[in-house]
Structure 1
Amino acid sequence: MLLICGDSKAYEEMPADPGFLDDCKAKGDKLIQSGGLEPPADATTVRVRDGEVLLTDGPFVESKEVVAGFSLIECASREEAVEAAPTHPVARHGTIELRAVQP
Structure 2
Amino acid sequence: MKYLLIMYPNAAVMDALSEKERNAVMEGHGDLMKKLKESGEFVGTLALATPDQSSVVRVRGGAPTVTDGPYVESEEFMGGVYVIDVKDNDRAHEVAAMIPDAAVEGLGVEVRPIIFSELTSK
Structure 1-normalised TM-score?
Answer: 0.83
- Whether 2:10 is the aligned partner of 1:7: answer yes
- Whether 2:63 is the aligned partner of 1:52: answer yes
Q: Could you say which residue in structure 2 is the equivalent of 1:19?
A: 31
Structure with the larger helix share: 2
Deviation per CA, 1:1-42: give whole Å up to 9, x if none. Answer: 11111212559945132221244356x451111131100000
Q: Could you say which residue in structure 2 is the equivalent of 1:66?
A: 77
Give the AA of the match of 2:5: L
Mark the CA change 1:81 to 1:101 in structure 2 (over 3 Å): closer, same or farther: same
Stretches of structure 1 that go unaligned for 5 or more consecutive residues are none
Q: What is the Cα-based RMSD across aligned positions, in Å? A: 2.2
Q: Shift of the alpha carbon at 1:92?
A: 1.4
Q: Could you say which residue in structure 1 is the equivalent of 2:114?
A: 101
Stretches of structure 2 that go unaligned for 5 or more consecutive residues are 117-122
CA contact (8 A) 1:82 1:98 kept: yes
Q: Greater shift after overlay, 33-42 or 7-16?
A: 7-16
Structure with the larger strand share: 1
Q: Which consecutive aligned stretches of 4+ in structure 1 deviate over 6 angstroms post-superposition?
A: none
Q: Shift of the alpha carbon at 1:102?
A: 2.1
Give the AA of the match of 1:82: H
State how many pairs are aligned.
102
Give the AA of the match of 1:101: I
Structure 2-normalised TM-score?
Answer: 0.71
CA contact (8 A) 1:37 1:69 kept: yes
